[in-house]
A and B are shown apart, each in its own frame.
Chain A
């Protein structure tokens, strides 16, 4: 190969890579413009639920935020089984209905049976044991007897 052919080949190679860069730039800016117009890419997807499932959440962090051992969104204590409770027990009703109730394992099991028989709760499978363990560990029944003393009184000066 003489000098001229060598030079020609080099020019061709440079030209090819320049073209590649150019195509990349065009495609990339086209993509940017598309994103400005349609940030959710909704026009590319068919409108059925299945394809919608893959969309990434906008605020994933907030949804799972835990502060001082408490899951902010639900108010549940973060401990073993907590995610199973979130996923199975907060679909129909608020987590507040869970956290304000205190029962032993037997009564939780009966409550779950009742929800399955009458409230369309699904079969929990192996999660049932995990959920019940979480509940009796983190929200155990308190012994308050026949009448508890007054607690949490906020004292204030009464002027009449």
Chain B
């Protein structure tokens, strides 16, 4: 009953807006609820996304790309997946936006305005791979709960900002620092102002890496609102949830950060492998750090029909968390034989790498082209699903496309 009258209220107030009269019931709209943005739910227009992006969830907003949409070497906003845990903050006041560094392990807490961050510290630009820890979740059996990402929750844009390391050095960090945790401006879905939708972080070693940025630009422009405007923590190669958006505060902790979605089973996998469907106690779950080796065929789109005797050019990207991809292969016979593909060096550390190959088919018929990347430690992508885990993280199984030769 409550929910229904809530909808009625919303409908009515948006109607008055449509009619162009005064918002008669403006003050009756529950606080924190923004009818305009949510009642006109065209996320493609709202976030300037390509129409072929797949909408997984509209509250909170979650959209993913398809493999062929990620063909660009540097992912543009149009094709960048959206993963939100809470409500996108509104009415961002850039002039008064501040970032505070606090926590048990700072010598004294310090607050910077956005202007100070930009003017005080040197700017750096890196192309950084950001992949959702749950990318590929849809393939797990038994299914894991959460957004059912297929392959498109990954991006590699250029990010410009200042090094978190430079800021932490300026603040002064105690020797007992263990972890950093971010706090951001997004609101909890339940509307409870005391709850944070997500507050994750990384160990000090990752926080102090050269490529770990407090970024204010994406692909040379202000970061789009839904991707973290005006300032985002970017930690490439790690689960995207560690790259917090709309950053207001970073706490330097003397223990593993215990913010929302750091504990329990969130962004964790069993410390020791388990059978599919097995129950795992929270204390037996370990935090995901660097993402595993993976690749995606971005051209051609699955379903290509080509003439017999013609070669097929394929291309795509490969990445391996903290590591580099050293070998790229493809197979047209379900892994019986593998052929080498050309793999380029990354634009910088933690950027995805581009691969390409020219594929010949022995005769007419149905084929699948499977791609397999191997990282610097010799670990390759599995052809089948990797170890089952309760939350469906880290599916880095080989990507494949269907091809017909006629």
Asked if chains A and B come from one complex, the reply is yes
B139 partner residues in chain A, CB cutoff 8 A:
144, 147-148
| A153 in contact with B11 given A52-B28, A97-B147 (CB within 8 Å) | no
Q: In whole angstroms, how far apart are the Cα atoms of A154 and B301 in the complex?
A: 9
Expressed in whole angstroms, the Cα–Cα distance for A86 and B4 within the complex equals 10
A7 within 8 A of B: no
**Known: A93-B57, A147-B139. Contact between A154 and B28, CB under 8 A?**
no
Q: Which chain B residue shows the least CB distance to A87? A: B3
Contact-size category for A: 35 or more
The answer to whether A156 and B402 touch (CB under 8 A), given A58-B15, A100-B147, A103-B145, is no
Q: Does A3 sit within 8 A of B, measured CB to CB?
A: no
Instruction: For the complex formed, measure the closest distance between the CB of A134 and the CB atoms of chain B, giving whole angstroms.
Output: 16
Please determine whether B189 and A93 come into contact, CB atoms closer than 8 angstroms.
yes
Asked whether, in the complex, the Cβ of A141 is within 8 Å of the Cβ of B143, the reply is yes
Bound form: Cα–Cα A56–B7 in Å? 11
Q: How many residues of B contact A (CB 8 A)?
A: 51
Determine if A57 and B60 form an interchain contact, defined as CB atoms under 8 angstroms apart. no
0 or 1 for each of A102-146: is its CB under 8 Å from B? (1 = yes): 111001000100000001100000000000000000000111111
Q: Which of A49, A157, A158 is the one whose CB lies under 8 Å from B28?
A: A49
- CB of A96 within 8 A of CB of B57, answer yes
Q: Counting CB contacts under 8 A, is B224 at the interface?
A: no
Which chain A residue lies CB-closest to B301?
Answer: A156
Known: A147-B384, A150-B302, A150-B400. A53 touches B5 (CB 8 A): yes
Residue A8 interfacial (CB < 8 Å): no
Using CB atoms, name the residue of chain B closest to A53. B5
Of the residues B28, B141, B147, contact of A144 by C-beta under 8 Å = B141
B157 to chain A, nearest CB (A): 26
In angstroms, Cα B146 to Cα A92, docked, is: 14
A143 CB to nearest chain B CB (Å):
6
Contact A150 B305 (CB under 8 A): no
| Residues A102 and B3 in contact, CB atoms below 8 Å apart | no
Residues on A with C-beta less than 8 A from B56 are 96, 100
When the two chains form their complex, are residues A102 and B28 in contact, meaning their CB atoms are under 8 A apart? no
Cβ of B255 < 8 Å from any Cβ of A? no
